[in-house]
Amino acid sequence: MSTKEKIVKRRLYASSVSTIISISLVLFMLGLVGLIVLTSEKLSVMVKENIGFSIYLTEQAKEVDIIQLKKHLEATAYVKSARYITKEEAVELLQEDLDPDEDFLDILEGYNPLPASIDIILNAEFANPDSITWIEDDVAQNDLVREFKYDPNFLNLINTNVKQISMFILVFGALLFLIAMALINNTIRLVIYSQRFTIRTMQLVGATRGFIRRPFIMKGIAHGIFAGVIAIAFLVGSLYLTQREIPELIVIQDIELIGTIFGGVMVSGILISWVSTLFAVRKYLKLKTDELYF
């Protein structure tokens, strides 16, 4: 092999490597945003299902009736979980927030003014102001219930922020996808541009358009596959580092969801590379010889 051929081969190899790296970095960013978009829904569900609601019971409520009410609440569509807190447990919980060395019951001469209660966690789809209104009315119909207590301002704040953050992530994700397509397309067009004279030479010796396109498209698909594998490796590394730094995030990780993202990254790399290569080669197949110099 001559020195000139070695130089050409080395340049083609370097061009392929730079193309794969460029595409993989773009796919990595795209996959990262995809993970954020799809896990944001699970994160919002987790946040909503950590909002507590308290049902305070009357002094006359008997324990057997309270347990029956708790079972009734757990059977409803809007309650995820319910916890019965006796008057004694309420004292213990309050004591944890106060000075542990001072028993406030001594001040009240042993009288316990705290009512028994049932703390409930709502399913995420019901943790909004509209649903709370009719849930409160439904719960209040029971004679054992004295008060249904929650913080409406906090609930409104959570729902407003979740909606705003979700909208921002969706818009940002769509914008990044368009940018990713443009970057990958421009990278591939530059590679094809460097080989425009090779395309013209093949035309001059009688090669058909399909014959000329085939090796470029196959190479573009191969680049997309390699770039997808590298991007997935970066994503796996990012998930590992994130989980190590913030162990709580393992709760919102879903193997099926992550697999969908990885598959989407791979398919996106192949499709975008294939389509971009197809249109780039088609462009130079239509150009006249004197137009190749511009």
Would you call 55 helix, strand, or coil by DSSP?
Answer: strand
Q: 87: burial class by Cβ within 10 Å (0-12, 13-18, 19+)?
A: middle
Q: Which of 149, 178, 212 is the last residue of a domain?
A: 149
Q: 211 burial class (0-12, 13-18, 19+ CB within 10 angstroms)?
A: exposed
pTM for this entry: 0.62
Statement to judge: residues 273 and 168 lie in one domain: yes
User: What value does the mean pLDDT take over residues 127-155?
Assistant: 82
Residue 244 pLDDT grade (very low, low, confident, very high; cuts 50, 70, 90): confident
Write out pLDDT tens, residues 254-269. Answer: 677 788 888 888 888 8
Q: Report the distance separating Cα 61 and Cα 144, nearest Å.
A: 6
My answer on whether 105 and 56 are in the same domain is: yes
pLDDT at 189: 74
State whether 191 and 112 are in the same domain: no
Q: Give yes or no: residues 70 and 38 share one domain.
A: no
Give per-residue pLDDT as tens, 28-84: 888 887 777 777 777 777 777 777 788 888 888 888 888 888 888 888 888 888 888
If asked whether residues 58 and 10 sit together in one domain, one would say: no
* Structural domain count, the chain: 2
Give the Cα separation of 55 and 64 in Å (integer). 16
132: containing domain: 52-149
- Identify the CA nearest to 144 among candidates 78, 222, 70: 70
